[in-house]
C-alpha cells in the first residue's frame, strides 16, 4: 500500500509531544507528513511547550523544543492531502482565529477525510461549524466548548481515544498509542508482525 499524504497544522507553543511524536510516527510507517504553520515557511521553527501536572489546579507550561516545519503553509492545498492532524497545546487557541486555517480544516470535514485531533487541537473545530452530532473527546477543559458547538463530547481517560467515522480524537498525549493505532486503521495502514 502506498503511504498517505497528511497535513499537520501546528503553531507556536503547540504541545511538544503532540507535535513531535505523531510527526515522526506517521512518517515511520510510510506516510508523508507536511507540518505547516500560518505565516511561516519550510525551515522556519515553532517553539513548543511541554504541559505537565505538578500539583497545581491546572498544568504548568514549560519550554519544549524548536520544531522545524517541513512545508510552506501557503503552498499546502488541502485537496492535495488524504488526512489532517491537529495537535494541541496553546497554539490552537489562536490558530482558530486564522481564516486560512479554518478554510483548510473545513475542507477535511466537508470531504469526510480522516482527521486526528488531540487535546486542545479540537478548539480549531469551534469555528468550522462541522462537528455537530460528532462523537469526540478533547482535553476536559475544552469539553464545554465542544458541547456548545453541537458535538457529542465524551470524557475519557487521557490514555484513550474516541473514533467517529473518520474522526479520531484523544484528550492528551498519554493517548498516543491508542489514537495513532486508530488513526492508522482509518487511513487503511496495515502493520503486520512475523
- Under 8 Å between Cβ of 136 and 124: no
Q: What share of the chain is helix, strand, coil (3-state, %, to 5)?
A: 35, 25, 40
- Under 8 Å between Cβ of 167 and 83: no
Q: Is 119 a catalytic residue?
A: yes
Which residue out of 120, 142, 149, 176 is catalytically annotated? 120
The residues, ordered by sequence, that sit 6+ positions from 141 with a Cβ below 8 Å of its Cβ are 58
Cα 153 to the chain's mean position, in Å?
17
Which residue out of 37, 46, 119, 142 is catalytically annotated? 119
Pairing state between β 45-52 and 14-15:
parallel
Query: Which residues carry out catalysis?
Result: 119-120
Amino acid at each position: 500500500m502506498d503511504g498517505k499524504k497528511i497535513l499537520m497544522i501546528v503553531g507556536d507553543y503547540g504541545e511538544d509531544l503532540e507535535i513531535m511524536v505523531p510527526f515522526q510516527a506517521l512518517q515511520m510507517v510510510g506516510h508523508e507528513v507536511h507540518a505547516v504553520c500560518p505565516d511561516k515557511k519550510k525551515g522556519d521553527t515553532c517553539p513548543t511547550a511541554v504541559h505537565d501536572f505538578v500539583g497545581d489546579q491546572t498544568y504548568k507550561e514549560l519550554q519544549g523544543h524548536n520544531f522545524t516545519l517541513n512545508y510552506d503553509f501557503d503552498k499546502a492545498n488541502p485537496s492535495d492531502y488524504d488526512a489532517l492532524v491537529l495537535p494541541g497545546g496553546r497554539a490552537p487557541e489562536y490558530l482558530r482565529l486564522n481564516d486560512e486555517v479554518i478554510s483548510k480544516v473545513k475542507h477535511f470535514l466537508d470531504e469526510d477525510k480522516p482527521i486526528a485531533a488531540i487535546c486542545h487541537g479540537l478548539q480549531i473545530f469551534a469555528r468550522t461549524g462541522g462537528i455537530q452530532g460528532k462523537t469526540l473527546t478533547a482535553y476536559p477543559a475544552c469539553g464545554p466548548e465542544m458541547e456548545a458547538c453541537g458535538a457529542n463530547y465524551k470524557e475519557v481517560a487521557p490514555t484513550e481515544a474516541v473514533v467517529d467515522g473518520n474522526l479520531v480524537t484523544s484528550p492528551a498525549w498519554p493517548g498516543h498509542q491508542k489514537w495513532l493505532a486508530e488513526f492508522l486503521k482509518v487511513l487503511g495502514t496495515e502493520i503486520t508482525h512475523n
